[in-house]
């Protein structure tokens, strides 16, 4: 799964820790998501979408091999 988390976070000028705090996870979790090591579950994906005021689809995109 691809995501635009790093870009959106940069636009808001938030650190990984700050975004993590806003959605209730650690900085490591945000880093793992950004690097594609971890795909968030639906609740976390929705929380992330909410803080960026976007739809989940606008942030996370399924790839062919998913």
- 12 alpha-carbon distance from chain centroid: 13
Which residue number, 35 or 61, has a Cβ lying nearer to another protein?
35
31-39 contact pairs (CB < 8 A, 24+):
33/3, 33/5, 34/3, 34/5, 34/6, 34/9, 36/1, 36/2, 36/3, 39/1
Contact range with another protein by CB under 8 A, out of 6-14, 24-32, 49-57, 58-66: 24-32
Does 56 interact with another protein (rule: CB under 8 A)? no
Residues 29-48 that bind another protein (CB under 8 A): 29, 31-32, 37-38, 40-41, 43-44
Q: In angstroms, give the least distance from the CB of 1 to another protein.
A: 15
């Amino acid at each position: 799964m691809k995501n635009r988390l790093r870009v959106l976070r940069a636009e808001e000028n938030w650190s990984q820790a700050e975004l993590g705090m806003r959605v209730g996870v650690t900085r490591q979790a945000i880093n793992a998501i950004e690097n594609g090591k971890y795909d968030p579950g639906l609740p976390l994906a929705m929380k992330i979408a909410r803080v960026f005021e976007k739809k989940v689809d606008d942030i996370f995109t399924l790839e062919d091999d998913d």
